[in-house]
Chain A
Amino acid sequence: MKRTAATAARVLTQIRHDPRTIALMLVVPSLLIGLMAWIFTDTEVFQRIGPAMIALFPFVVMFLVTSIATLRERRSGTLERLLSMPLAKGEFIFGYALAFTLVAVLQTVIAVSFALLVLGLQISGSLVLLFSVAALDALLGTSLGLMASAFARTEFQVVQFMPLLIFPQFLLSGLILPREQLPGTLEVIGDWLPLSHAIDALGDVAAGTEDSGTWASLLVIGAWILGALLVGSLTLRRRTP
């Protein structure tokens, strides 16, 4: 536990030394949500897709940040050094997950405050649940980022995993076309993807219609997080060729 906390603190200290990244992570989501609200001025569309945006940003940003940061660990030799020390793989992974989840919660607080107070987005349900879903989203992005970094050798390659792992989830989430109107196979796939559940859950919270389906969605997201973290931990090898 101490090593997990030390790893999380170290990652947060690294981020703190990079003010440009902090600004981009904290401000850009609010700006994009603002742009979306502006595009759909005088329509009901923003009220419908606004919560989905809150689900999307922590997920995408944390995927990118984690995949690049852990790839950097692998390439710089620090990971090899750490794994020759008494650091468990789980301590390393959960250290990263903890640090980026904290950043994501802060990011979500800013984005949600901006959406509620400045853009007039209405959330009828529990704000605690809203932040919980956003934090789970961030953790999902972190876990998938950890996994993706294992299959890339360069930053250029790891960014290419975004179209592979993120875009299909976005396309099948029901944002572009309601999932029930998708071709049967795609609907089934979309129903199992974690981003679909995150967007559904946030939609429920926004409308104040949380029910057992909302909690089921959170369970599905949790299962994906655990699965991705497991695969990510399997890719951390103490011995390499």
Chain B
Amino acid sequence: MTNKTACIQVQRLSVKRGKSLVLQDIDCELAPGRIVGLLGPSGSGKSTLLRSIVGNQITAGGTVTVLGQPAGHKSLRHRVGYMTQAASVYDDLTVQQNVAYFAKVLGLPDAEATRVIEATDLQDQAKRLVLDLSGGQRNRVSLAIALLGSPDIVILDEPTVGLDPVLRAELWALFAKLAKTGICLLVSSHVMDEAMRCDEMLLLRNGKLLAQLSPGELLRRTGASDPEDAFLRLIASGGLGSAPPRDPSTARHRAEGEGS
């Protein structure tokens, strides 16, 4: 039984690459207005799961429903913002030209490009070629494009890679602000410290979903003092020994109760 309030529903999702299963029977539901962290080591299948939700991934089985439509449905192309792991921007265009082009593709006015450039604090770099920017600044250009048009769901693949701690903190503050407006943010990371900034986490390893729970719950149930240790304990125990919570509202109440 699926939850009608969920903005993303993944049921028994499997993805094959060659002969190997990259994702195996993934089940999860995500509610709007929350930051959901997709955490796991490199090669655990995070990007593949995100691509499946965007609708760019050929899947081997299962279903992915986004805002009530099959993932990748034409009607979702305005409603889902996607930031790929590589910056996926044009090096030989300025920040302004990059964002303005993607805004045009989305049928948005130039003012919208200006808005997201300001939201990602790129005003000072707007006239510079992306080629001349640092890795962190390039990531922010990519993020700005994902935020164009105020999408209902924003999917961010390792958005904080290469950012200094100050920028990282700023970015997470921006994510929190966006979540408060009702947007569902799904953010992947292999840095376990970032888990504590999420309302909820999906823990992935070797293509399997180990758990879906709040950061506080992870610490409590594993008895660990930090998320990295908790993740290691989780792997050692082979999971939490119970099915991950399927009802996002239940997870939300739990997270709120823990103040995480």
Contact = CB atoms under 8 A, between A and B. Distances in A.
A77 B146 CA distance: 13
Contact of A13 (B57, B77, B97, B106): B97
B220 to A, nearest CB: 37
Contact of B105 (A6, A76, A77): A6
B88 A10 contact: no
A86 B72 contact: no
B102 A84 contact: no
Interface in A31-87: 76-78, 80-87
Contacts of B56: 80, 83-84, 238-240
Contacts of B57: 239-241
Chain B: number of interface residues, binned into ranges: 20 to 34
Contacts of A80: 56, 84, 88
A98 to B, nearest CB: 15
A86 B104 CA distance: 10
Contact of B77 (A6, A17, A84): A84
Contact of A241 (B17, B77, B78, B104): B17
A10 B97 CA distance: 8
B86 A84 contact: no
Interface in A1-45: 2-3, 6-7, 9-10, 13-14, 17-18
Contacts of B116: none
B13 interface: no
Contacts, number: 80
Interface in A197-241: 238-241
B190 to A, nearest CB: 18
Given A6-B104, A239-B55, A239-B58, A81 B90 contact: no
A240 B80 CA distance: 18
Nearest to A239: B58
A3 B17 contact: no
Contacts of B55: 84, 238-239
Contacts of B85: 77
A85 B84 contact: no
Nearest to A18: B92
A82 B105 contact: yes
Interface string B86-97: 111111110001
23 contacts: A10-B93, A10-B97, A14-B90, A18-B92, A76-B86, A76-B88, A76-B90, A77-B86, A78-B88, A78-B89, A78-B90, A80-B84, A80-B88, A81-B84, A84-B56, A84-B72, A85-B77, A85-B78, A85-B105, A87-B105, A239-B55, A239-B57, A241-B58
Interface of A: 2-3, 6-7, 9-10, 13-14, 17-18, 76-78, 80-87, 238-241
Interface of B: 17, 54-58, 72, 74, 77-78, 80, 82, 84-93, 97, 101-102, 104-107, 129, 145
